[in-house]
A and B are shown apart, each in its own frame.
Chain A
Amino acid sequence: MNRRTFLASAAAVTIAPFAARATPEDLATAIREVTGDAPLREGRVTLDVPPLVENGNTVPLTVSVDSPMTDDDHVRAIHVFNEKNPQPHVFNARLSPGNGRAVVSTRIKLADAQKVVAIAETSKGEFWTAHAEVIVTIAACVEDIT
């Protein structure tokens, strides 16, 4: 291996881990896969996530949707996406009128300071959304063990 090929391979190794990052385009594609052509409207959804987190490995997140949760009008699913983790998906939860309230809490990982998007899919085929910006000081997911 000569100097040039060595440098090239070394560069490839250093750059490779950072190539595995979702982009705002990936986020838009992932959202379109869920909503299709239906319009996405702001409102009804409350995304509760701290604006500044020290450790991106566990970020508490609560999504609540203003919905009567009756048979004719309920939230069918809650989807959560992120902008800069290696993959845009976080989770999707299936709900039914039997849940009584459209509230889901969990803990997520964030690889960088970024936007988190929550989308609620209602039984009427509407999509409501809310987003939040989160600043992360210690990143998760892509951080190596050393």
Chain B
Amino acid sequence: MANVLVNAPKTAKKGEVVEIKALVMHVMETGFRAGTNGRIIPRNIIEDFTATWNDREIFRMKMSPAIAANPFVSFTAVAGESGTIAFRWTGDNGFVAEHKVSITVT
């Protein structure tokens, strides 16, 4: 399981715009670099990042090799109802990372 770091508020007022930051540990190897043996290092990147709020999609991002290693993404969302924000990263070689945080909306 990959290391994931998520920063989202634990509580929010209804209708408030909250900022959510998510980072996942990943090499994001571009597939354009040669290693010490002169051979190209095969591509290994995260292609998709999605965030859902109580199973409703709030953000989706398609990544390319031009995203830096340990991809960091920050975005905003309107606080609707209390529940769970779930994050999912998928990528090459069957890479999957998931993380969930709970938020209380008052």
Q: A99-B76, A106-B72 are in contact. Are A143 and B33 (CB under 8 A)?
A: yes
Structural contact, A142 and B60, CB atoms closer than 8 A: no
- Which chain A residue shows the least CB distance to B62? A92
Q: Which of A17, A107, A109 contacts B34 (CB 8 A)?
A: A17
Interface range for B: 20 to 34
The answer to whether residues A109 and B30 also contact, given A104-B73, A141-B65 and a CB cut-off of 8 A, is: yes
| Chain A-chain B contacts (Cβ-Cβ < 8 Å), number | 114
Main secondary structure of the interface of B (DSSP, over half): strand
A31 within 8 A of B: no
Q: Which residue of A lies closest to B58 (CB)?
A: A98
Give the complex CA separation of A107 and B73 in angstroms.
Answer: 8
Structural contact, B33 and A96, CB atoms closer than 8 A: no
A80 to B76, CA, bound (A): 18
A63 to B25, CA, bound (A): 23
Q: Which of B31-62 contact A (CB under 8 A)?
A: 32-36, 41, 53, 56-62
A58 in the interface (beta carbon within 8 A):
yes
Question: B69 — which chain A residues lie within 8 A by C-beta?
Answer: 57-58
With contacts A58-B68, A106-B67 taken as known, whether A86 is within 8 angstroms of B32 at the C-beta atoms is yes
